[in-house]
Chains A and B, each alone.
Chain A
Amino acid sequence: MNRSDSDEILAQQVINGNLTAFEELVTRYQKPIFKLAYRMVGQKEEAEDLTQEVFIHLYQKITHFNPEKKFKPWLYRVAVNTCISRLRRKRKVIFLGFDDALAGSVDLDNVPAVSPEKNVEIQELQRELFQAVLEMPENYRAMIVLRYQLDLTNSEIAETLGITRENVEVRMHRAHKNLRRILLGRLAEGRFEYEVQAGR
């Protein structure tokens, strides 16, 4: 095994029983997978546990991988599915309000004004935003995390999730709206020290 080998070559070596190649893949991808898991579950220990589960799944299912295709989307798909399965197992029954953002439109009129004097610390917005992400339905959460945290393009997300690029665009749009609605809800409830303008 050579450390400069491509992911696909390493995967083929893992299929052939090379544990060193597997170790190299874990080393390469532990951080992005952990980042994905952390943004999906919001808790370090669980995220690390999930990351480990992803790599064990990877090892167990590596023979399903076709070395003629790209490895990264395949791994991310395993990771997303593992995270979503964990979240569903945890929640058992998932309740969504009928007026959830899934069904409604976003009232963009209530977005906070951005002015120097009302400028909020970016860290606060980040913290609040990622809490909002954790309140999103799992599938939308995955879309947002893949796009912004793993910096995937629409085409890469489509390849990862096994859906069309057009479908990604539709889902991403819904995910954005969903996120905005949750974020504005948090702002309106005063969980965030930020001035919310009521209407125009």
Chain B
Amino acid sequence: MKCKQVDDLLFSYCDLREIPPMMLRELEEHLQECPECRRKAEFTAREREALVYDGDIPEMSPDFVQRVLAAVAQEQTVPAPSRKTTIWSQIGSRGWWAIGMVAVVVIALLIAPDSFKNPVQTPNTEMQIMESERQPVAMLAGKMPQQQEQETASEPVRIMPEHSYKERVPSLQIGRGNQSATYGSPPAGEQVVVFSPSYIPEDYRLVRVESDAENNITIYYENDRDGYICLRAVQKSMAGMAAHETTADMDTVEGYYPLARYNLQADAATDSEPTVIRWSTEHDGQHYQLELTGSLSPEELIRVANSVK
């Protein structure tokens, strides 16, 4: 047996896990002969010993069980009916998508209530939302504001009361494959540019849109199997851009982002690990850094990235 093979088996060996008898014998013979591998085995054994240690786990609060029971009672959380009979399951992924898109439109309307007075005028390749309120906004599709507040308590966002956005959304005209449009006439002042993908995998739904104090928009999608996609766009001033951004990324401007410039930071072999794509673009003289993260395969995430406009 060679040292490389021993390396691969050491974790299992020190973990007392199953190793075929023949391999076990060869491994132990190698360890007797090779001091370097023996040293590694000793370290691995110590590592394993440390990993099972739990003496540092803090004590739980003595009233934990009672608090759980109180929380269950207080929230009136009764066992939900099985998935087959819930309203939300009957809505299905299409319904979720529609609800998600409602959230996007609501964001637009909250930021630009005046622009809603004018109907859609000019189809455009970018969703442009005119800014009349520089307010951070967070919306969670399909959830009550109180729930939103709990889930985003640590975020610098403002939760709009439900009646507030309902009043501002008399009708909606948006759906899947959103080739975005410009809503209303641009008022004087700054614009908020929203980047969104026209393609996402079928089973994903939009679950949340967040805007921070600088109006940087983050859009979240999830599916029912714990998969997620997150798109964040950050506006960068030229002065504030790091040197590597101006040299490496600034030529990826004007809408289309060549794949060669993608900073693909994951291993395709690790199927369940998050993949990150970062790139930059320019719109109306402003530079944006885009970050697309997800539990998709790199190829699929690239497809999503290619559809971002």
Contacts and interface: CB of A to CB of B under 8 A. Distances in A.
B50 interface: yes
A47 B57 CA distance: 10
Interface string A75-95: 000000100110011101111
Interface stretch (B71-79, B102-110, B237-245, B250-258): B71-79
A165 B8 CA distance: 18
A68 to B, nearest CB: 15
Contact of B8 (A109, A125, A129, A173): A173
B57 A52 contact: no
Interface in A176-191: 176, 180, 183
A6 interface: no
A73 interface: no
A111 B39 contact: yes
Contacts, number: 150
Interface in A87-145: 88-90, 92-98, 100, 102-103, 106, 108-109, 111-114, 122-123, 125-127, 129-130, 137, 139, 144
Contacts of B68: 26, 30, 52, 55-56
Size class of the A contact interface (CB-based, 8 Å): 35 or more
A interface secondary structure, majority: helix
Q: Name which of B50, B65, B83 has the most chain A CB atoms within 10 A of its CB.
A: B50
A116 to B, nearest CB: 12
Interface of B: 7-8, 10-11, 15, 17, 36, 39-40, 42-44, 46-54, 56-58, 60-61, 64-65, 67-69, 71-72, 75, 77-83, 151, 154, 218, 226, 228, 230, 232, 263-267, 270, 272-274, 276, 291, 293
23 contacts: A23-B69, A26-B65, A27-B65, A30-B65, A31-B60, A35-B54, A52-B67, A52-B68, A55-B72, A56-B77, A94-B276, A102-B273, A122-B53, A126-B53, A126-B56, A127-B56, A130-B56, A147-B15, A148-B51, A148-B52, A149-B51, A149-B54, A176-B11
